[in-house]
Amino acid sequence: NAKYLIGADGANSRIVDQVGLPVEGKMGVSGSINVVFEADLTKYVGHRPSVLYWVIQPGSNVGGLGIGVIRMVRPWNKWLCIWGYDIADGTPAVDEAHARQIVHSLLGDATIPVKIESTSTWTVNDMYATRLFDKRVFCMGDAVHRHPPTNGLGSNTSIQ
């Protein structure tokens, strides 16, 4: 027996559903493609090292804002980029050629050698619980806040 239960079981929380916490918003607001790749981007980022780069490029419509994200995984040659897609058109099939095209489009330079490591697709959600607990059950994290604002992943730990 436990005195309390913490529901931190992710965006598809069974605990939130079982307890019946009220939620507002909607799931599947927009689509995103993650591409993990290796490339030497020193000439673009060496003078201004960072972990996260917001890139304005035509077609990089992440979350409807017209921007793309490049996140450093390992300096300065392993990266993750996020590229948006219209979920009304369905989830795109992303093969290596398509992934390379995404990276080159976001970088604005098709001459950079790129090695694609992996790809994945996911949807941006805009849903949150209006109450975080019921009696001795407390829920937190993605279970009650499924809203990465502008793909600011990790923001679920913030206070909005």
pLDDT tens digits, one per residue of 92-150: 999 999 999 999 999 999 999 999 999 999 888 888 899 999 999 999 988 998 876 55
- φ and ψ of 60, to 5 deg: -95, 45
In total, how many domains does the chain have? 1
- pLDDT band of residue 38 (cuts 50, 70, 90) is very high
Structural domain boundaries enclosing 44: 5-157
Is the pLDDT confidence value at 157 over 70? Answer: no
The DSSP annotation for 7-66 comes to: E---TT-HHHHHHT--EEEEEEEEEEEEEEEE---HHHHTTS--SEEEEE-TT--GGGSS
**Model confidence pTM above 0.85:** no
- State the CATH number of the domain containing residue 135: 3.30.9.10
Give the integer Cα–Cα distance in Å for 80 and 34: 7
Q: Which helix (H) or strand (E) holds 103?
A: helix 96-107
> Which tokens sit at 75?
């300096």
* Averaged pLDDT score across all residues of the chain: 86
Q: How far is CA 66 from CA 31, 54, 73, 91, in A?
A: 13, 10, 23, 19
